Amino acid sequence: PLINTLEEAGYEAYFVGGSVRDVLLKRRIHDVDIATSAYPEEVKAIFEKTVDIGIEHGTVLVLAEDSQYEITTFRTEDVYVDYRRPSGVTFVRCLEEDLLRRDFTINAFALAEDGQIIDKFDGLTDLENKLIRAVGVADERFNEDALRIMRALRFSASLDFDIEEKTFEAMKVHAPLLEKISIERSFIELDKLLTSDYWRKGLRNFIDSKAYNHLTGLVGKEAQLENVLKNIKSDYFWFTTSEQAWAYLLINLEVENCKDFLKKWNVSNEFTKKVTNIYEAYKIALERVWEVKDLYKYGFDAFMYAEGLLEAEERDIDTSLLPQLTMKLPIKSKSELNINGQVLMNHFNRKGGIWIGQIISEVEELVVNGQLENNQDAILEYVE
Ligand code: CTP
């Protein structure tokens, strides 16, 4: 309806950005961005309730139908400064010019109210081939904004996309620019990468791009980063929380002091505390992992065991039972299931420990028979 309203007032308006990409990929969408030929003052004159959230960039927040939408005027960007931001923007009436400034072809679609897709850079072909490709000249895109290097890596992890060759080469060339932008922004992208479904692919690309060599604390840590991948034997392992991902990363990076490391990355004290707790539990679990060595063979590694320890502690469960319990699991086949320590402990708690083996057998049978998808969400939904 907002697009209609803008059109009725004589302007052009489209959905743009990541939400169009996600609609085309049938993924869940979060923020909906609208781009329009109307200038900010004109947008404000059309809608009753608006908030200026970045009017100098052309963005007005419109409150309508119990929701809020960012409406941004078509714009081109002036010269970039700091390898991160343009020195200013120029509002334009033409959609095409707006799409030209965007980072990747899959992020440069516009979707009209009637469902028509405007695809200036052959993004639909890239979507089909699962490729991340820079719009126009890749070197220019990364030179304008170095964070895009981290964004490309993160999208490869969240979408299971490869990075197109020329784009990847340009990322390698411009990786040193990451040193010039704030570490907090790189943290956010790396964090999203690690907690994505295809984090292995993202991390592989992160290592291969050598981007890590330009981030504090990761310089020269190629072998350690490789260990992050090697030490998790199951292909079906996801980090359930950011804290878990970072604890695992820091263990593998052989970081002695989590606090010092995370301080350099400007993360909050609360986050640091949580990461440190998991890190410590993991160390204990590594010492005790021989007790669950049979499970270890099947891909349940010490990290999951550590999660169990933490969960048990939180719920005041006697942890001395954990090894015995985990040993009882009747894993007969080698099919690896997406069940992590947390799920294990949830059921240990709920059912007194006796039924976990049965639940796992049941889930395993369904997966083997193709009646249940072998992914974390599906299994969790079934088990819950
Ligand atoms: N964009 C860009 N360069 C950036 C950041 C954003 O060109 N460094 C453009 C892209 O067209 C992007 C849009 O702005 O799609 C919106 O950016 P943002 O909301 O940060 O990311 P999304 O692509 O929407 O991805 P997601 O919301 O899934 O993180």
Q: How far is the CA of 16 from the centre of ligand 1 (A)?
A: 9
Q: Which residues line ligand 1 (CB under 6 A)?
A: 17-18, 31, 102-103, 107-108, 145, 147-148, 151
Rounded mean pLDDT, 101-118: 96
Q: How far is the CA of 108 from the centre of ligand 1 (A)?
A: 9
Whether pLDDT at 59 is above 70: yes
Atom of ligand 1 at shortest distance to CA of 103? 7
- The model's pLDDT over 267-296, given as tens digits with 9 standing for 90+, comes to 999 999 999 988 887 777 666 655 544 444
Per mean pLDDT, which range of 14-23, 125-134, 214-223, 363-372 is the poorest? Answer: 363-372
pLDDT band at 300 (very low <50, low <70, confident <90, very high): very low
Q: Rounded CA gap, 110 and 96, in Å?
A: 9
pLDDT band at 331 (very low <50, low <70, confident <90, very high): very low
What pLDDT, on a 0 to 100 scale, did the predictor assign at position 316?
A: 61
pLDDT band at 384 (very low <50, low <70, confident <90, very high): low
Rounded mean pLDDT, 96-109: 96
pLDDT band at 79 (very low <50, low <70, confident <90, very high): confident
> Mean pLDDT over all residues of the chain?
83
User: What ipTM describes this predicted complex?
Assistant: 0.97
Atom of ligand 1 at shortest distance to CA of 108? 11
Residues counted in the chain: 384
Which of the pair, 249 or 65, is modelled with greater confidence? 249
Whether pLDDT at 3 is above 80: yes
What pLDDT, on a 0 to 100 scale, did the predictor assign at position 318?
A: 57
What pLDDT, on a 0 to 100 scale, did the predictor assign at position 333?
A: 31
Percentage of residues in the chain having pLDDT higher than 70: 76
Q: How far is the CA of 102 from the centre of ligand 1 (A)?
A: 8
Instruction: Give, using CA atoms, the residue closest to atom 14 of ligand 1.
Output: 17
Q: Rounded CA gap, 301 and 289, in Å?
A: 8
Rounded mean pLDDT, 15-38: 93
Instruction: Give, using CA atoms, the residue closest to atom 13 of ligand 1.
Output: 17
Instruction: Give, using CA atoms, the residue closest to atom 21 of ligand 1.
Output: 18
Per mean pLDDT, which range of 122-136, 149-163, 211-225, 282-296 is the poorest? Answer: 282-296
Pocket test of ligand 1: the residue of 22, 28, 103 to mutate, having most ligand atoms within 8 Å of its CB, is 103
Rounded mean pLDDT, 215-227: 95
